[in-house]
Amino acid sequence: MALTDIWFLLIAVLWTGYFVLEGFDFGVGMLLRVLGRDDTDRRVLINTIGPVWDGNEVWLLVAGGATFAAFPLWYASLFSGFYLALLVILVALILRGVAFEFRGKIDSDRWRRNWDRAIVFGSLVPALLWGVAFGNIVRGVPLDAQHHFTGTFFTLLNPYALVGGLATLSLFALHGAVFLGLKTTGDLRERAVALTKPLGGAAILFGGGFLAWTAADHGGWTWIPVLVAAAVLIAGVWYAMDGKEGLAFVCTALAIVATTVTLFYSLYPNVLPSTTDAAYSLTTTNAASTPYTLKIMTWVAVAFTPVVLAYQAWTYWVFRKRVTRESIPAAAGLPPVRR
């Protein structure tokens, strides 16, 4: 296997890790106002992801950095063609991170309510737009002979990509609800589990439709991960309703893995197909860095990846227990709102 193929595979793994881990973060954020009936409930929801959400976003940074270093032409064409969409995602992620930090700084219901809305917005928008972005990457975009994007922002809003956005939105929402069933107790847990049924129906409808559309276009072995995704998604909803949240979470995570595998398998050996002319498509060969660059990157990845994985696994182990309402301290010592 060539180094270009290895790095395509590694980038696929990085995006898979990001979607699995950040997926339930997005789901919790989207459901903040739906499941949180008072401030204590919402603090419980935020605390379920509080120790890990920023660490989960590291996967996005590494995936972007690996793409820039291993396939610079892919990175350049993506960020020029998808500039506005990626800017919106970035702003939403920044707003979400600020909201987590600022929400509890002032003792004011209005203050907290506005930051809660920012968390919902900062979770919902990336969950939707990542699906739109990857739908366009797999479908292809108009590229000229110099690999320059020749479309507009509205070129990206095609039916296939929009269904992809609804697929990731519903799948991440389900993943978050299952995660909350695993991490909370009492009425909050019961409400989260009850929500898995309608969210599971939406995920099966949109996710199944998107993956079936992808498999119909590309055929062959693509149907295998599609069928796996459908099976584990149905099993995840079943386990959640049966009170087996651990197995349900494994199933929704596997559904996200199978979905990402479907997309990258459908894409290879292209990294960004051209709808103008297939000869203008970016591939793992013509978009790659020099062999020497890829060789150095491989040694760095071999040395540091196990350390990062071990640290993140340790973090999840330390914060593995459920979060209860009783574990939330009273909001004391906060400055009152100034009128």
Note the pLDDT tens digit of each residue in 84-126: 989 999 999 999 999 999 998 888 889 999 999 999 999 999 9
Ordered by start, the domain boundaries in the chain are: 3-322
Placement of tokens 């049924």 in the chain: 197
Find out whether 269 and 135 touch, Cβ atoms under 8 Å. no
Question: Judging by DSSP bridges, how do beta strands 282-283 and 270-272 pair with one another?
Answer: antiparallel
Q: Which residues of 190-229 are buried (b: 16+ CB within 10 A; e: fewer)?
A: ebbbebbeebbebbbebbbebbebbbeebeeebbebbebb
The domain defined by 3-322 folds into Formate dehydrogenase/DMSO reductase fold (1.20.1630)
In this predicted model, what pLDDT tens digit does every residue of 15-63 receive, in sequence order? 999 999 999 999 999 999 999 999 999 999 999 999 999 889 999 999 9
pLDDT tens digit sequence for 223-271: 999 999 999 999 999 999 898 999 999 999 999 999 999 999 999 999 9
Burial 137-146 (b: 16+ CB within 10 A, else e): bbbbbbbeee
What residues does 141 pair with on adjacent strands?
274
**What Rg, from alpha-carbon coordinates, does the chain have?**
21
Q: Do residues 240 and 287 lie in contact, with contact meaning Cβ atoms separated by under 8 Å?
A: no
Q: What percent of the chain has pLDDT over 70?
A: 97
Residue range 207-225, pLDDT digits in tens? 999 999 999 999 888 999 9
pTM (whole model) above 0.75? yes
